[in-house]
Amino acid sequence: MLDFFRKSRPSTAPRAPRTTTALFDDDFQKKLETLAIVSRRVFAGRMRAERRSKKKGSGVEFADHRDYVAGDDFRFVDWNVYQRFGRLLVRLYEEEEDLGIYFIVDCSASMGFGSGRKFDQARRLAAALAYVGLANLDRVAVIGVNDEVVAQVPSTRGKARIFTLFQFLEKLEANGTTNLGDALGTVVAQHKRRGLAVLLSDLYDPAGFERGINVLRYNKFEPYVVHVVDPADARPDLRGDVHVYDCETGDEREVTVTDSLLDRMEAASRDYLGDVERFCAKSQVPYFPAEVDVPFDELVLRVFRRGGFLR
């Protein structure tokens, strides 16, 4: 029935998928359209694709001067400066281009730990934000990583492409170890066009979460960290003598779980979150914690209010 409406009356609603999946069901898709409307209201007055790059080029807005070198176009020589200072300077303009949004989804085993709620939440958030991006005529790419790039959808634009993203996200699986530094290094190498890089991850990286974020920073991407958090990770339902092992690395440790140990575990998890948040603040990277218990649409709205995702 939704196909009928799509053909007869173009709508801003996402096209109905050929098959409805559990992850992106009808209810999810209805909420997406609501979020798209809300995003337009929040960012009313903005021009489409008004995402200015730092690249100097042939735009109309003055950016800077530089010394003339042989071969430069004479049309850009600033003759007024030459008249006043006797130097040949070339006027530089900001080049306008539609920069991309890269949704980088952590597909390591820790994301699927337990009931996989973190992985589901990450995929739902990626899908929702991607839809908002597509609705704003941005160029959107989705990349799955663990210690390498496991799969990706090349940059695309237009709302009609959202179902391609759904199918892609649906097929992603959480396994392998986490190495954000290496994986994101591959991402930046593969994508020359810089842009907003939304990292959706639990940041459980044995090599340190900082490496991956810094890779994005150092390669002129604008990182945006969505930290997917499961409270059950901080206080697991365990008692007694157990033999714990890391679900990714297999590191082992014998431990007797008591209430006091669980309290300390909870405190350590809070400290870890605090470390991530402090690092992001220090690095001027937008940071957004996303708990699995909070509905994804509410989280998306929080992202909007927080700013930084759409400008």
Partner 1 sequence: MSFFGFPPSVLLGVGGAAFAATIGLYILKLRRRPVAVPFSPIWQRVLKDKDASQLYSRLKNLLSLLLQLALLTLLVLALGDPRPTALAKKGETTVVLVDTSASMQASDVLPSRLAQAKAKVHELVGGLGGSDRMLVAKMDASTVPVTTMTGEATELNEGVDRLVATDTRVDLRRALAFSADVLHGVENPQIVVVSDGALDTDGAGKDLGNVPVRFIPIGKRGRNVAITGFSVRRYPLDASRYEVMLEVTNTDAAPENIELTLLGDGNVVDVSRLSLKPKERLPRFYTDLGGASQKLEARIRLADGTKDDLGADDRAYALMPERRRARVQVVTRGNTYLDAALLLDEYLDVTTVAPAAYNSGGAFDLTIFDGVAPQAPEHGGALYLNPPESGSPVKLGRALSDFGFDSWDKHSPLLRFMAVDNVQIAHGHALVPDKDDHVVGASEQGPIVVSGRRDGHPYVVTGFDPRDSDLVLRVAWPLFVLNVIHSFVEEDATYLSSFRTGEVWQIPAPSDDATVWIKDPAGMRHEVAVKEGRATFFGEHAGFYELEGSGKAAATLFAANLVDPDESQIEPVKDLQIGGERATAVAGFHIGIRRDVWVYLVEAVLLLSVFEWLGYHRRITV
Interacting residues with partner 1 (CB under 8 A): 110, 113-114, 202, 204, 206, 230, 233, 236, 238-249, 251, 253-256, 258-259, 261, 264-265, 268-269, 271-272
Residue 175 per-residue DSSP state? -
Smallest separation (angstroms) from partner 1 to the CB of 111: 9
Check if the beta carbon of residue 87 is closer than 8 Å to that of residue 182.
no
Smallest separation (angstroms) from partner 1 to the CB of 69: 52
CA 274 to chain centre: 20
- In 161-213, beta strands by DSSP E: 195-201
| Residue with Cβ nearer partner 1 (210 or 248) | 248
Smallest separation (angstroms) from partner 1 to the CB of 243: 4
Q: Report how far residue 142's alpha carbon sits from residue 77's, in angstroms, rounded to the nearest whole number.
A: 42
Smallest separation (angstroms) from partner 1 to the CB of 23: 21
Between the two ends of the chain, the Cα-to-Cα distance in Å is: 36
Check if the beta carbon of residue 274 is closer than 8 Å to that of residue 281.
no
- Strands of 61-67's sheet, edge to edge? 52-57, 89-96, 61-67
Smallest separation (angstroms) from partner 1 to the CB of 145: 17
| Residue with Cβ nearer partner 1 (42 or 267) | 267
| Residue with Cβ nearer partner 1 (220 or 239) | 239
| Residue with Cβ nearer partner 1 (246 or 291) | 246
Check if the beta carbon of residue 112 is closer than 8 Å to that of residue 68.
no
Smallest separation (angstroms) from partner 1 to the CB of 283: 21
| Residue with Cβ nearer partner 1 (37 or 244) | 244
The dihedral formed by the CA atoms of 174, 178, 183 and 184, expressed in degrees to the nearest 10? 100
Check if the beta carbon of residue 249 is closer than 8 Å to that of residue 177.
yes
Smallest separation (angstroms) from partner 1 to the CB of 62: 50
Smallest separation (angstroms) from partner 1 to the CB of 172: 18
Residue with tokens 């069901």: 25
Check if the beta carbon of residue 153 is closer than 8 Å to that of residue 165.
yes
| Residue with Cβ nearer partner 1 (113 or 166) | 113
Check if the beta carbon of residue 286 is closer than 8 Å to that of residue 280.
yes
Pick from 114, 175, 117: nearest CA to 148: 175
| Residue with Cβ nearer partner 1 (196 or 200) | 200
| Residue with Cβ nearer partner 1 (160 or 261) | 261
Check if the beta carbon of residue 90 is closer than 8 Å to that of residue 77.
yes
